[in-house]
């Protein structure tokens, strides 16, 4: 029997205006944006819809903004008693927190407050230990791991067979990119991020997150969550907490996560939230699955599963 999985994007999917069509036309989406504004104590919705873009792109704002737009999409598309029941949920980095809300581990107000604190900690960690990230295209993982050992960088995201992201100091990234090109990489691209995410540079954030999660009541997931850090299902609240704490400094194993779900019988992946980044990655991981985007009123109106 074929199965469906819901997947949620990370913070690279932000854009001014995201969610505005849903806010204007969907009472469920409007309620989510209003809940976010109330939980955070400022008008996140205004920032999402009107910008300014440079403020929206700050990690501390991007993460709660993308999560809010994603949950607004989820509630609009599937919040009316729709019979679609995913076999798994998963999210890329930030998106894993959206998956927690989708699986009932945290309420949306709790989830958005935790994400805001995660974002604050990550932004501060990036200021304390400056660094960044780079996408390496077309180089095998073993060769890239050897480069990281030479340069002091780390594998941050295993995104697809063609794309791996590394984190580290600016000098370490420059050295790594030069070595990667010399050893056959097709392309190396610095990412527009404010820190060396998913690396040891985030130790300050990891320590702060331990204190933050202690303030929230985590429930067992109602849907298995495929964890970034293990690429395997989490079935208990304890496993979920361990997963998000280890994720801060650990690698997002997106390709193995998708491969696990495909092997478990998933034939349709529904990317819910701004952009289509995950859809592009999943295409490169498995050519045999159906891919659906839920990111606007138009996409929801034409939804067919």
Residue tagged active-site, from 160, 194, 198, 199: 198
Question: What is the enclosing helix (H) or strand (E) of 137?
Answer: strand 132-137
CB atoms within 10 A of CB 107: 15
- In sequence order, what DSSP letters do the residues of 210-268 get, joined into one string? HHHHTTS-PPPPSS-EE-TTTSSEE-SHHHHHHHHHHHTTS-EEHHHHHHHHHHTTEEE
- Tell me whether strands 266-272 and 3-8 are parallel, antiparallel or unpaired: parallel
Q: Structure tokens of 206?
A: 């990891």
Rounded distance between C-alpha atoms, residue 30 and residue 109, angstroms = 14
Residue tagged active-site, from 93, 160, 167, 257: 93
**Residue 63 to residues 158, 235, 282: CA-CA distances in angstroms?**
20, 25, 22
Q: Structure tokens of 268?
A: 């349709």
Active site residue 93: yes
- Tell me whether strands 290-294 and 266-272 are parallel, antiparallel or unpaired: parallel
Question: What is the enclosing helix (H) or strand (E) of 131?
Answer: none
Active-site residues: which are they?
A: 93, 198
């Amino acid at each position: 029997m074929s199965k469906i999985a819901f997947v949620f994007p990370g913070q690279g999917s932000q854009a001014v205006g995201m969610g505005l069509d849903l806010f204007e036309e969907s009472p469920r989406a409007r309620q989510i944006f209003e809940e976010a504004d109330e939980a955070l104590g400022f008008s996140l919705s205004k920032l999402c819809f009107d910008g300014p873009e440079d403020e929206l792109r700050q990690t501390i704002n991007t993460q709660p903004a993308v999560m809010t737009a994603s949950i607004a999409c989820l509630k609009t598309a599937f919040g009316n008693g729709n019979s679609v029941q995913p076999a798994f949920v998963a999210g890329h980095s930030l998106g894993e927190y959206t998956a927690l809300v989708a699986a009932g581990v945290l309420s949306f107000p709790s989830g958005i407050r935790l994400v805001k604190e995660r974002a604050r900690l990550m932004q501060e960690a990036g200021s304390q230990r400056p660094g960044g990230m780079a996408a390496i295209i077309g180089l095998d993982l073993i060769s890239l791991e050897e480069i990281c050992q030479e340069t002091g960088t780390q594998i941050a995201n295993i995104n697809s067979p063609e794309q791996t992201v590394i984190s580290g100091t600016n000098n370490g990234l420059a050295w790594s990119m030069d070595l990667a090109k010399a050893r056959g990489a097709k392309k190396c691209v610095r990412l527009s991020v404010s820190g060396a995410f998913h690396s040891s540079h985030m130790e300050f954030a990891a320590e702060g997150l331990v204190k933050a999660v202690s303030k929230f009541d985590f429930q067992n997931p109602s849907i298995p969550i495929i964890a970034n850090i293990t690429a395997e299902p989490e079935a208990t609240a304890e496993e979920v907490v361990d997963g998000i704490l280890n994720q801060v400094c650990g690698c997002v194993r997106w390709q193995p996560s998708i491969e696990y779900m495909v092997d478990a019988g998933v034939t349709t992946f529904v990317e819910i939230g701004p952009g289509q980044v995950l859809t592009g990655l999943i295409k490169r991981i498995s050519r045999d699955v159906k891919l659906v985007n839920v990111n606007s009123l138009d996409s929801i109106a034409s939804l067919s599963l």
